[in-house]
């Protein structure tokens, strides 16, 4: 087990390290959290009424003695939906820093790009079930197991990330979520992750600096798409599905800065699916150009509005259409998605009312996520919110979740 | 003719008779308040006290570096210790005279750096009774400043300056400031609302000399309309510590160095 091995290395390293650090350089923090999400329209496919019901303890251990630093964040939880106790290593890494460069080794969360819940050059693993079932935002991001090197010459900064161990995205599962399955009768399914060979090590590079007042980044990624593609053993009479993660390279850029009395963001990326450059393989996505245009503005005291428009353009569309087997759902050439976020802080910023919504002009589906969060004290906060899904078509991203509307509660004591 | 001159000079005297204009006093006051030293570091403890007495704590380290003349550009870096839900959060501001700041926020739980919109300088700073402008300074030319009188406050000779916002969109109508004639620090400020009522009251509660710079180490802002009060105390403060330019970068926003934040 990878997790166990990482745990062991981290704890051995930690032990050696702590023995040389003084008490003031070590800190232990964390939280106790309850997180519950109840169905409001339909019970789960497996009959339950909770998308999530869990109590969780997180411990964050931080030890530093310049130029070294160790950080471990682990969660222990009891999941009432599956009736299981679990231990999760959320992050566990070792840092070394010098003035011109630094390195971070181990499990780490990496967030790139300028999108708000839409991602182009942030190719790192995500947990979308967390987002759809009312978990705190931080659980949308999963750590990667790898090494990050930062290099900081005067003319620009560079992040270079090597990920030898592949982590897929986590999507809602058919036990807790009603969702679209193009081949519900084919239950024999085999998922293959990229083999752990040196040649399959993922590489991600970001170069960034200020250009005319705009935070400007260039991105390169070579690795795998974290959403699996399904290939049937026989397109006419399928009896088995093979799921695998297509080879992907991404070339992109982002810009963010002050403009039009607010913050303007632009991000672009070319998704090069290397196994299907001609577009003729219907079971591997065609190459795409993805774009986000975003704008954020503070309208009055403690009230901000942000809007985004995302597009995903499929290249070699005619080849895709020509080769799509009969009976398969045909994707559009241009997918579009708009988002709106409204945030109002009240009561000395202890009460946060927020509204977030995605709506796809091309698919007509949506998700609406209103939330109220209140800090009862400096240590205790609670949030209540809802996820409401809908759309005319049961095969689209949010339309398929139409029967999964839920109301959620999060309560956390932090120490 | 002589009679007319006497009358005119009597009329004009209250405005022109002081040695310095309101703008000059406010300029010197801002230089003394926001710009002393080449750079500055403080461990700041803010106590937010509700009307019913309930308290919330905000604790941070603030680092500031001046670029060019006093009143010019500044870079500001903040690292939060408390409350627990914002622990390890960092915040960076590039402040420019007479135009909007650039602001960045780092959210450690998801390792994310974001720009945040900054047009609204009258927003509360970290939920306190201080606004962003109270913390980082308001552009001098945004107000008309007039010396209304000179009087002693807390046994210190002061200029009393009336500052009236030129644009009508502020959440106060005018401000009276008691500025110490010796060190030019504000000892008291009264903000009046459009109805002429006292809205907020600022007081400097402790002033200490640090490396030759008179420094307000305790201050209070009380909102007389809501009953909410914020007390700010510097647990430590220092000047001219040679803060490196590179501190004010995404690199250190994401991974602040303990030698600067502690």
CA A318 to CA A279: how far, in whole Å? 8
Residues A367/A387, Cβ–Cβ less than 8 Å: yes
Q: Cα–Cα distance between A302 and B123 in angstroms, integer?
A: 6
- B192-225 tens-digit pLDDT: 999 999 999 999 999 999 999 999 999 999 999 9
Q: Which residues contact A112 (CB under 8 A, 6 or more apart)?
A: A121, A122, A123, A124, A204, A206, A217, A219
Q: In this predicted complex, what is the ipTM?
A: 0.92
Query: Which DSSP symbol is given to A127?
Result: B
The upper half-sphere exposure of residue B7, i.e. CA atoms within 13 Å in the direction of its Cβ, equals 4
Length of chain B in residues, anyone?
262
Determine the Cα–Cα distance for residues B112 and A114; give it in Å rounded to an integer.
Answer: 9
Residues B237/B216, Cβ–Cβ less than 8 Å: no
Query: What is the distance between the alpha carbons of residues B93 and B101, in angstroms, rounded to a whole number?
Result: 7
pLDDT at B98: 81
Mean of all residue pLDDT scores within chain B: 91
Q: Is residue B10 scored above 50 in pLDDT?
A: no
User: Is A263 close to B115, i.e. CB distance below 8 A?
Assistant: yes
Bigger pLDDT: B168 vs A217: A217
- pLDDT value of residue A165: 94
Instruction: Tell me if A302 and B123 make a contact (CB, 8 A cut-off).
Output: yes
Q: How far apart are the C-alpha atoms of B240 and A258, rounded to whole Å?
A: 31
**Residue A31 with chain B: CB contacts under 8 Å:** 84
Distance CA A224, CA A163 (A): 11
* Residue A28 CA neighbour count, 13 Å, CB half: 5
Of B119, B126, B246, the CB nearest to A261: B119
Closest-CA residue of B relative to A99 is B246
Task: Report the DSSP beta bridge partners of residue A56.
Answer: A33, A77
Question: Helices in chain B by DSSP H: which ranges?
Answer: 2-16, 22-34, 132-136, 250-254, 258-261
Write a three-state SS string for B157-171: EEEEEEEEECCCCCC
Position A236 scores a pLDDT of 84
Instruction: Give contacts of B45 with chain A, Cβ < 8 Å.
Output: none
d(CA A248, CA A163): 14
Average pLDDT over residues B70-91: 94
Question: DSSP for A227-256?
Answer: S-EEEES-SSS---EEEE--EEEEEEEEEE
Q: Per the CB < 8 Å rule, is A110 touching B111? A: yes
User: Residue A355 contacts by C-beta under 8 Å, 6 or more apart in sequence?
Assistant: A340, A341, A342, A343, A368, A369, A370, A371
Best of A258, A374, A375 to disrupt the B interface (most B CBs within 10 Å) is: A258
Please state, in angstroms and as integers, the Cα–Cα distance from residue A64 to each residue in A59, A89, A96, A100, following that order: 16, 19, 10, 19
CA dihedral (B234, B236, B242, B245) positive or negative: negative
Q: In this predicted structure, what is the pLDDT of residue B170?
A: 79
Contact between chains at A258 and B100 (C-beta distance less than 8 A): yes
**Interchain CB distance below 8 Å, B119 and A64:** no
Instruction: Identify the pLDDT of residue A326.
Output: 87
For residue A307, the model assigns a pLDDT of 98
Do the Cβ atoms of A370 and A354 come closer than 8 Å? yes
Closest by CA position to A55, among listed A36, A74, A29: A36
What is the spatial distance between Cα A31 and Cα A58, in angstroms, rounded to a whole number? 5
Q: Can you tell me whether residue A4 is helix, strand or coil?
A: helix
- Distance between B88 CA and the closest CA of chain A, angstroms: 11
Q: By the CB < 8 Å criterion, does B251 face chain A?
A: yes
DSSP code, position A286: P
Question: What's the rounded mean pLDDT across residues B221-245?
Answer: 97
Of residues A311, A382, A386, the one with CA closest to residue A355: A386
H/E element holding B180?
strand B174-180
Across the A/B interface, how many CB contacts are shorter than 8 Å?
A: 103
Task: Give me the percent of chain B exceeding a pLDDT of 70.
Answer: 92
Contact call for residues B29 and B185 (beta carbons, < 8 A): yes
User: Which superfamily is assigned to B19-261 in CATH?
Assistant: Lipoprotein localisation LolA/LolB/LppX (2.50.20.10)
Structure confidence at residue B17 as a pLDDT band (50, 70, 90): low
Cβ-in-10-Å burial (0-12, 13-18, 19+) of B12 comes to exposed
What is the reported pLDDT for B13?
47
CB contact under 8 A, A298 and B111: no
DSSP state letter for A138? G
pLDDT at A112 (0 to 100): 97
Domains of chain A, with CATH numbers?
2-414 (2.40.160.10)
Q: What is the DSSP string of A152-207?
A: --TT-EEEEEEEEE----B---TTT-----S-TT---EEEEPPP--GGG-EEEEEE
Q: How far is CA B125 from CA A108, A305, A399, B42, B130, in A?
A: 31, 19, 41, 16, 6
Between CA B191 and CA B178 the distance in angstroms is: 12
The verdict on whether omega for the bond into residue A221 sits within 30 degrees of 0, i.e. cis, is no
CB atoms within 10 A of CB A247: 17
Q: Is the pLDDT of residue B1 over 70?
A: no
Question: Which parts of chain A have pLDDT scores under 70?
Answer: 1-24
How many whole angstroms separate alpha carbon A290 and alpha carbon A253?
Answer: 11
**A350 — phi, psi (to 5°)?**
-95, -15
- The domain locations on chain B are 19-261
Per-residue pLDDT of B18-63, as tens digits, reads: 678 999 999 999 999 999 999 999 999 999 999 999 999 999 999 9
Nearest to B63 by CA among B221, B259, B250: B259
Tell me how crowded residue A190 is: count the other CB atoms within 10 A of its CB.
10
């Amino acid at each position: 087990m990878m997790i166990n091995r990482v745990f062991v290395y981290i704890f051995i390293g930690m032990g050696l390290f702590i023995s040389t650090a003084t008490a003031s350089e070590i800190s232990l923090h964390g939280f106790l959290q309850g997180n519950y999400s109840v169905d409001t329209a339909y019970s789960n496919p497996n009959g339950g009424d909770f998308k999530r019901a869990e109590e969780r303890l997180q411990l964050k251990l931080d030890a530093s003695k310049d130029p070294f630093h160790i950080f471990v964040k682990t969660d222990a939880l009891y999941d009432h939906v599956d009736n299981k106790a679990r231990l999760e290593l959320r992050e566990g890494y070792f840092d070394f820093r010098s003035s011109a460069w630094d390195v971070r080794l181990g499990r780490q969360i990496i967030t790139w790009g300028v999108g708000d819940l839409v991602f182009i050059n942030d190719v790192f693993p995500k947990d979308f079930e967390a987002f759809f079932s009312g978990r705190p935002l931080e659980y949308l991001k999963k750590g990667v197991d790898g090494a990050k090197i930062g290099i900081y010459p005067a003319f620009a900064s560079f992040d270079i990330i090597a990920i030898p161990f592949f982590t897929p995205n986590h999507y809602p599962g058919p036990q807790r979520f009603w969702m679209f399955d193009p081949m519900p009768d084919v239950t024999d399914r085999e998922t293959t992750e990229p083999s752990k060979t040196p040649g399959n090590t993922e590489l991600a590079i970001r170069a960034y600096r200020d250009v005319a007042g705009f935070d400007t980044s260039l991105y390169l990624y070579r690795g795998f798409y974290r959403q699996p593609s399904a290939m049937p053993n026989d397109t006419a009479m399928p009896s088995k599905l093979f799921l695998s993660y297509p080879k992907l390279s991404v070339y992109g850029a982002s810009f963010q800065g002050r403009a039009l009395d607010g913050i303007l963001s632009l991000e672009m990326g070319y998704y090069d699916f290397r196994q299907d450059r001609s577009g003729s393989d219907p079971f591997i996505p065609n190459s795409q150009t993805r774009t986000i245009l975003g704008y954020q503005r503070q309208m009055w005291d403690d009230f901000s509005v942000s809007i985004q428009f995302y597009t995903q353009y499929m290249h070699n569309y005619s080849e895709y259409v020509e080769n799509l087997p009969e009976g398969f759902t045909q994707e559009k050439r241009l997918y579009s998605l708009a988002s709106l976020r409204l945030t109002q802080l009240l009561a000395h910023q202890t009460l946060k009312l927020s509204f977030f919504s995605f709506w796809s002009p091309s698919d007509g589906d949506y998700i609406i996520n209103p939330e109220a969060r209140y800090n009862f004290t400096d240590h205790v906060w609670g949030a209540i919110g809802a996820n409401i899904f809908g759309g005319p078509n049961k095969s689209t991203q949010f339309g398929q979740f139409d029967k999964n509307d839920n109301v959620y509660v999060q309560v956390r004591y932090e120490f | 003719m002589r009679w007319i001159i006497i009358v005119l000079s009597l009329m004009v005297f209250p405005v022109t008779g002081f040695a310095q204009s309101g703008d000059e006093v406010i300029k010197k006051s801002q230089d003394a308040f926001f710009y002393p030293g080449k750079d500055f570091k403080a461990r700041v403890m803010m106590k937010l006290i509700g009307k019913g007495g309930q308290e919330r704590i905000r604790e941070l380290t603030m680092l500031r570096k001046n670029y060019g003349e006093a009143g010019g550009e500044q870079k500001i870096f903040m690292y939060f210790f408390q409350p627990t839900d914002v622990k390890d959060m960092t915040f960076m501001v590039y402040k420019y005279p007479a135009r909007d700041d650039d602001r960045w926020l780092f959210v450690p739980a998801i390792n994310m750096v974001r720009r945040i919109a900054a047009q609204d300088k009258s927003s509360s700073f970290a939920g306190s009774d201080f606004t962003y402008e109270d913390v980082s300074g308001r552009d001098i030319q945004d107000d008309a400043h007039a010396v209304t009188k000179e009087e002693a406050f807390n046994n210190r000779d002061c200029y009393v300056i009336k500052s009236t916002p030129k644009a009508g969109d502020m959440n106060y109508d005018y401000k009276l400031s008691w500025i110490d004639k010796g060190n030019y620090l504000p000892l008291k400020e009264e903000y009046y609302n459009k109805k002429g009522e006292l809205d907020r009251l600022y007081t400097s509660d402790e002033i200490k000399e640090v490396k030759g710079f008179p420094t307000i180490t305790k201050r209070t802002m009380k909102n007389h309309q809501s009953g909410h009060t914020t007390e700010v105390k510097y647990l430590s403060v220092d000047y001219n510590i040679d803060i490196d330019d590179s501190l004010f970068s995404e690199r250190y926003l994401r991974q602040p160095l303990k030698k600067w934040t502690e």
